[in-house]
Amino acid sequence: MLQVENLTKHYPARGRGLFTRDPRRVRAVDGVSFEVKAGEVVAVVGESGCGKSTLGRLAIRLLEPTSGSIRLGGTDITSLKGEALREIRLTAQIVFQDPFGSLNPRMTVGASIAYPLRVNRLFGRADGAAIARRVDELLERVGLNAAHARRLPHELSGGQRQRVGIARAIAVNPKLLVLDEPVAALDLSAQARVLNLFKELQREMGMAYLFITHDLSVAEYMADRILVMYAGKLVETGGRLALFQAPRHPYTQALFSAAMLRSGRASEETILEGDPPSPIDPLPGCRFNTRCPHAGEVCRAAEPAMSALDDGHGAACHLLTGKLRRSG
């Protein structure tokens, strides 16, 4: 469904002198490769600022990559423009984190949901009745009802608004949904209900999800496979069970230990000290070496490549290449 090779996105650094541009680059996403199969739910987890949203937007070409390649449904979409780029919107859609900002405050709920149908001319130009029927159907599908179509976003709760965002995203029957922290802004009970809605929709429509979250319990509930990101890089990928039961990268181990502790599956929590490195021109070597309890000389000198472990499980750490011995 989605194949991403060596994908990189650099932003110009924001710090800028009065007359000179800062020549440095923010490496928001740096050489990331992964695949999402049809109907598969792949979660992307990692700390704030590690590049999850950038990755999700690149995957469906809401952003232009600096380098690398993206294939969607077999076609190379890396450098599509204009009309050709707009065509992939019928295949890949996105649900945003912010249920307040992602709906036009002056458009009714019905108009927002009809918008992708109209701009893609999925119905005849004059076929208002057919569009209205489809909008009602979508509203019901996401747990709202036809009466909501005439409402303005500010009249709805956060959970209802997020459902409107979901209805808008599935309106064109996409094959892939990028979900960028779609429940992070909701309260716990709304989170649970919206997550269940995602499960149902996925089962019924057979969509693949690229599910971005910083909440590991959400990833565990939703994902078939998990990608762990750290400072713009993938550090570990694998099936949900493998990652939760036998994480191999020290970062994953630390990240997951807190969640495991809470559910009684770990005896102690590894506390991560310090902050992630600045994504602006990072030091050579492993990005994690400044916080890693096992870091040695090799970690400051060379960047570890992704080592294939069993069965689709992989991690990028010198411990796994034999170049470094575990300390303690």
- Residues near Mg ion (CB under 5 A) are 53
- Whole-number Å distance between alpha carbons of 189 and 158: 12
Question: Is 28 among the residues that bind ligand ATP (CB under 6 A)?
Answer: yes
Least CB distance to Mg ion at residue 19 (A): 32
- Whole-number Å distance between alpha carbons of 270 and 266: 10
Least CB distance to other proteins at residue 322 (A): 45
Question: Is 90 among the residues that bind other proteins (CB under 8 A)?
Answer: yes
Question: Is 120 among the residues that bind other proteins (CB under 8 A)?
Answer: yes
Helices H, strands E: what count in the chain?
Answer: 10, 12
- Alpha carbon 186 to its chain centroid, in Å, reads 17
Give the residue, chosen from 17, 105, 124, 274, that forms a contact with other proteins under the rule CB under 8 A.
Answer: 105
In this structure, the dihedral spanned by the alpha carbons of residues 74, 78, 82 and 85, taken in order and rounded to 10 degrees, is 40
* Stretch 187-216 residues interacting with other proteins (CB under 8 A): 193, 196-197, 200
Of these partners, Mg ion, ligand ATP, other proteins, none, which one is at the site of residue 277 (CB under 5 to 8 Å by kind)? none
Residue 114 tokens, joined: 């009809």
- Whole-number Å distance between alpha carbons of 167 and 22: 42
Question: With contacts defined by CB under 8 A, how many residues of the chain interact with other proteins?
Answer: 37
* Stretch 236-295 residues interacting with other proteins (CB under 8 A): none
Least CB distance to other proteins at residue 90 (A): 7
- Taking Cα atoms as reference points, which of 221, 122, 215, 218 lies closest to residue 168? 122
Pattern 274-313, ligand ATP, x by CB under 6 A: -----x----------------------------------
- Whole-number Å distance between alpha carbons of 220 and 240: 7
* Stretch 41-70 residues interacting with ligand ATP (CB under 6 A): 46, 48-54
- Taking Cα atoms as reference points, which of 103, 77, 79 lies closest to residue 165? 103
* Stretch 7-26 residues interacting with ligand ATP (CB under 6 A): 11, 14, 26
The DSSP call for residue 280 is B
Least CB distance to ligand ATP at residue 176 (A): 18
Question: Is 176 among the residues that bind other proteins (CB under 8 A)?
Answer: no
Q: What angle do CA 118, 119, 121 make, to 5 degrees?
A: 60
Q: Which amino acid is at 78?
A: T
- Whole-number Å distance between alpha carbons of 302 and 323: 10
Task: Please list, residue by residue across 25-39, b when 16 or more beta carbons sit within 10 angstroms of its beta carbon and e when fewer do.
Answer: bbbbbbbbebebeeb
Give the residue, chosen from 119, 241, 246, 308, that forms a contact with other proteins under the rule CB under 8 A.
Answer: 119
The site for ligand ATP (CB under 6 A) is made up of 11, 14, 26, 28, 46, 48-54, 214, 279
The site for other proteins (CB under 8 A) is made up of 60, 62, 86-87, 89-90, 93-94, 96, 98, 101-107, 115-116, 119-120, 143-145, 147-148, 151, 155, 157, 160, 165, 168, 172, 193, 196-197, 200
